[in-house]
Amino acid sequence: MHRVVLLYSGGLDTSVMLKWIQDEYDAEVVALCVDLGQPADDFDAVRQKALDLGAVASLVVDAKEEFARDYVAPAIKANARYQGGYPLFTALGRPLLAKLACEAAREHDADTVAHGCTGKGNDQVRIEATIATLAPDLKVIAPVREWSMGRDEEIAYAQEHGIPVTSTVERPYSIDDNLWGRSSEGGVIEDLEQPPPGDVFQLVTPPTEAPDRPEDVVLGFRDGLPVSLDGEELGLVELIRRVADAAARNGVGILDHIEDRVVGLKVRDLYEVPAAEVILTAHRELEKLVCTGRENALKPQLDALWAQLAYEGVWYEPLLADLNAFMDRVNARVEGEITMRLYKGSATAVARRSPNAIYDRSLATFNADASFAQGAAPGFIELFSLQSRTAYRIAQARERG
């Protein structure tokens, strides 16, 4: 091992790692920090911190557009929510981080990638499966899995080695965030018998403190993707930001979620997913309007499969590409506008418009109209119920002996 690309966040774990790799392996470190739209990060400070800690190069890659276009967009088309809830923002980001690490390793002639994941989570699986697929010759190290340092030892190591320990170390939770959401895990969140502690949520206003008046937002879709907000055309990154702001101030997008990790653990996550909550709900609403009943019965099953694969991080699995072909085909018709009402934690579709809606008001109306052949209904019902009626009659006859 002579040069290591380290996926670097600027936090305590990866900062200790930056030093530790130099000392332990006598290797050079190239720090790579990726901007996936995580709101609070100061990337200039992160870049400088890595150099101060001895990195031979410190890269900050703005991958927001790529993340939105190639990872979040297909997730929207698949209404992607793992186990019916979690919109997968972390899971979608990891394959991209791993791909960028492989590219940086090539560019900087490194033979190893290092990441800060623990041995208990999904992220190690997602990152290492991607690297093993794209660059099987690269070595991977995960120091947190190897060293026996706990939180206190890490802080002691940091103080010994001149690594600035910021106040964020005091935060009692494990946080991950990007454009599509924010998660908190660990600490008192692990006590399933307690409601979410008040200090967890940093993005979304508590619903009880949200405004007393509802706020309506109109989302315009084309080819299954949101393209406008209240009539203004926007790129996906900017649109997600603005929807997140509107949702967050109305208390929308808090999720207290129990989930099954790929390594077998069942855990609790507290999610803040304001944009995903509004956009995914609006997307599914529009999709239902333009799809047939048969399509509407099948698609949620394939959506769940898509979410499972994305959660596992098997981004290059052929089945995922197969499913994407189906998603694209259906979504080619998903065009129109959905008005979402945001109010004290809820996001509800209240108005719909689409040129592809399989909806004919003159057919659906309760008012008298000749175009629907009501006279054909009795014959239809007779045949439609034939098999069930026959089964019932035979079962009754057998019971009577």
The residue among 311, 349, 337, 335 whose CA lies nearest residue 75 is 311
Q: Does 174 bind ligand ARG (CB under 6 A)?
A: yes
9 is catalytic: no
Of residues 83 and 390, the one with the C-beta less far from ligand ARG: 83
Minimal distance in Å, beta carbon 86 to ligand ARG?
Answer: 6
256 is catalytic: no
CA distance 93 to 91: 6
Q: Does 38 bind ligand ARG (CB under 6 A)?
A: no
Residues numbered 76 to 115 that lie near ligand ARG (CB under 6 A) are 90-91
The residue among 6, 314, 351, 41 whose CA lies nearest residue 177 is 41
CA distance 383 to 239: 50
Of residues 15 and 90, the one with the C-beta less far from ligand ARG: 90
58, 123, 126, 303: which is the annotated catalytic residue? 123
* Phi, psi of 362, deg, nearest 5: -70, -25
Q: Does 308 bind ligand ARG (CB under 6 A)?
A: no
Q: Does 135 bind ligand ARG (CB under 6 A)?
A: no
Residues numbered 262 to 291 that lie near ligand ARG (CB under 6 A) are 269
Of residues 133 and 174, the one with the C-beta less far from ligand ARG: 174
> How many residues belong to the site for ligand ARG (CB under 6 A)?
10
Buried-exposed string 301-329: b where 16+ CB fall within 10 A, e elsewhere? ebbbebbebbbbbbbeeeebeebeeebee
Q: Does 185 bind ligand ARG (CB under 6 A)?
A: yes
Coil, strand or helix at 114: strand
Q: Does 123 bind ligand ARG (CB under 6 A)?
A: yes
70 is catalytic: no
The residue among 198, 169, 201 whose CA lies nearest residue 182 is 201
All residues at 6 or more sequence positions from 207 whose CB lies less than 8 Å from its CB, including other chains: 251, 254, 344, 345
Q: By the 8 A CB rule, do 117 and 10 touch?
A: no
123 is catalytic: yes
Of residues 227 and 320, the one with the C-beta less far from ligand ARG: 320
Contacts with ligand ARG, residue ranges (CB under 6 A):
90-91, 121-123, 174, 176, 183, 185, 269
